[in-house]
Structure 1
């Protein structure tokens, strides 16, 4: 081989070796997928569409859009399916909607405050019996009660071995010294309610979970390789925001706290080199063929924020392929560049 040929081969090998996760398995995405949409949740439904919902920067409504590919979501029509109330419950801070198809109906789990007390945050549910959630009527099903009243948000749900679970974020009950936001799990008896006691899975413990605020929030679940992986986000919603992970055996009692192992370091965090800051509040999906797992999350492409980070609108939705280690655990890598 000539010197030029060797040089080209070496450069190509270096590029492959250094390729970020978004390029794994021949898959790459045109990031950011959707501008100014935080807390993204994407579900690939049996009709072949990706259904997408997320927090809008005005915190005043819930949108749903769909597309045949993740790259098409940014151009898809955003259908407003619900708007906040002018007064009372569900009147402020409309956050983190997640849409799930359960027993032939669509449900949106979301967070909302009271119009007159915007930090009185609770969990609420909408229901739609139409096969196409962009059609039909979204009916308010009220608050999803968690067993005690306190600041609560970021509900997700999953089914495992025939049992449906709710996982969410909440402050501990009154009378405790625990002032941070914790993550809990409970069994569900209907899509609108939990049954039995809630189990505390994790609370802010490590320094990286306590940057500016004591926060563990935004759980997301991926069942794979005989295990249940539960990611969550930690710290303030600026460049400190990052993802942690809990892991349990797929055969374990998921309501037993000792069944879960917590990673001592973040599994996904800011990448100065790639210009991505505060990645987190993720969900999981796959490529259309179901063969490749995909991490969907939000991040900003700058560090410095003027004013309150919750008022900065530029958390954009992004996606990248998840690589799997030889031991069957996920490798999220670094958030890829725009």
Structure 2
């Protein structure tokens, strides 16, 4: 273990990420599987962003927020997956202390921003369904931009609150992280002093984020469901529920695993890495499918984009 002397102890300057498996055959299988998922994640989320940007009919707050969600999903996956994939192909699974802390910071920065953004999307649906006549006034361009910026500011505050207590911990060995990326829980296990303060700070920070976001989502959908049930037309009710179903599915997929991982002390469970794979890799891959398969406007816009691409390529070839 490489290190420097600090207070008669050796301070860790690098960690080893153990990953999902040490079996060489499984590592090749995992590499191919997760590479395909990551490439589909990149392609799917980029396609949504480009489609919404190009099609003027999708220039509304709902699709602006959807485009931003795709950017967050793409960024969130990119923080962990490239290093994860490289480690499958090399014996050197080392990550420096600074890079480890940086990875943890950006995971919580982007993850926190996504929590706030999903909450913002619930509020957007509340205004659209419960106050349709005032929707364009309330959710004007300036308000949408301000709300999106606020999600990034919230994510930044959450990331500092998560990373700062971990940085204060002394790491003097061992340096093997039983995970495929750096995070507060697996790092706290390696600390050579009491982790009570850092664990308490992490739980308060994450608890405040989860409770605040969940409360707003719950209140928003309480009003939404109450309003939808008053709609006389069954077609109108179905359309309103269909619009909200995609968002609720994404919220469940993102918040569920996150609460399991972060809303408890630093105790390692056998399923932790599997749950982490789900919310850092699988969910960003699924989100484009969830929204496009249930949204007719997005599907029509994508078909139009494909036709325009064929026309453009055909004219260039001629």
TM bucket (normalised to shorter chain) is under 0.3
TM-score (norm 1): 0.22
Higher RCO (CA < 8 A, seq sep 6+): 2
Greater share of residues in strand: 1
Larger radius of gyration: 2
